[in-house]
Amino acid sequence: MYTKILEESETLQKDLITWRRQLHQIPEVGMNLLKTSEYVQRKLSEWNIPFEVKANGSCVVGKLGTEGPCILLRADMDALPLSEESGEAFTSENGCMHACGHDMHTTILLGAAKVLKIHESELKGQVKLLFQPGEELMEGAKTLIGEGILTEPDVGAAFAMHVTSLAPLGMITYGKTPLSSVYGFEIALTGKGGHGSSPEVCIDPITAGVHVHLGLQELLARECPFGSEVSLTIGQFHAGDAPNIIPNTAAMRGTLRTFDDELAGKLIRRITEVSKKIAEAYRVQAEVKALYQGPVLVCAEEMNDLALSCVKKLGLDELVWDKLKGTGSEDFAYIAQKVPSTYFTIGASVGAPEEWISQHNPKVRFNEAILYKAAAIYTAVAFEWLEQQEV
């Protein structure tokens, strides 16, 4: 069966490349993915796969099988607000870009859907195909759980994969806690603007912001135990419009990531306290608000083992690393909180290692050679899990 799955997936490779490039040229961000959703709907309709549309039309949930246990296969579809610089012949031109590879994910799940449809009569249960918006915002999975994606029928397990541009081609990685929690925050600083020649009559929010930034870094050095797995980054700092004007306001945005919920709670409180107190010392008002938040991604060991067994049966286990633990974040974590789940990555690097470019970079490229292999893994995991439920 596994040899057949891999062979049938490989026969789709030319189609997979076409679908991926078409999706790559229509990137959409956040929870508004109407064009992408319509593309998926057309494909599922061609193959007579019934589906529901959720999230105001931006999510598609396909369904295979009619009764019995149910597994969910998930692919995220949203892009990033980046102007593409990859140099690909199929570059997007609308100011957005699939710089995280979600066009690859959507394509891979479409491939799995087509192969699963061929073998629908052999399924020992049901498969939900979740084409999801809003992963980059940490909103999609939580919203869709609220809209009932894990019920009617009840989902018993879930599987997701992510391509990575910084791993050898075809390398499979996974772990118990592969990705960290995340807390995104904004610090709004309000002072008193004026002419740069007279700082003494102004209250400078930029100076306060610089010291707030330094103070937040000290949280890692002086308030986290040795060996803590924590990352705190300020990725945005906006203030002012001219070199000779002290602005009224400044704004900073950042993220906190950790694998320890208790430590995360402490640091979230301290981010607010430190920001307000340091700003106060410079006569500036500081307000801290949460932008988004997501839990640690915790995978079920039995699901990790099941997915790995599928990779081996497909003969795709030449490069496997079982200690994936990174400070990226994933809203699939919300699904993993509800049902036993696993999350694998697959290497999709282009060229030699010195040429690899990180995801979320406007120059990043992904290797389409892994499309059919990843589609086969999705298909095999669905079959294997349903088979085991009969035992």
Q: How far is CA 142 from CA 74, 117, 297, in A?
A: 13, 28, 13
**Closest C-alpha among 59, 245, 30, 231 to residue 135:** 30
In the annotated binding site, the residues are 100, 102, 136, 162, 360
In the annotated binding site for Mn(2+), the residues are 100, 102, 136, 162, 360
**How far apart (Å, rounded) are the C-alpha atoms in residues 302 and 23?**
34
Instruction: Say how many C-beta atoms besides its own lie within 10 A of residue 109's C-beta.
Output: 29
| The CA-based dihedral angle spanning residues 24, 28, 34, 36, taken in that order and rounded to the nearest 10 degrees | 20
Q: How far is CA 378 from CA 71, 112, 212, 289, in A?
A: 11, 6, 46, 38
Which residue bears the tokens 């076409």?
18
**How far apart (Å, rounded) are the C-alpha atoms in residues 383 and 6?**
13
Question: What backbone phi and psi angles, to 5 degrees, belong to 320?
Answer: -135, 135
Contacts 24+ apart (CB under 8 A), 119-124: 119/383, 120/64, 120/65, 122/383, 123/64, 123/65, 123/68, 123/382, 123/383, 123/386, 124/68, 124/69, 124/386, 124/387, 124/389, 124/390
76 close to 140: Cβ distance less than 8 angstroms: yes
Which residue bears the tokens 């980059």?
136
**39 pairs with which residues across the strands?**
none
Q: What angle (nearest 5°) sits at the alpha carbon of residue 260, between those of residues 254 and 263?
A: 70
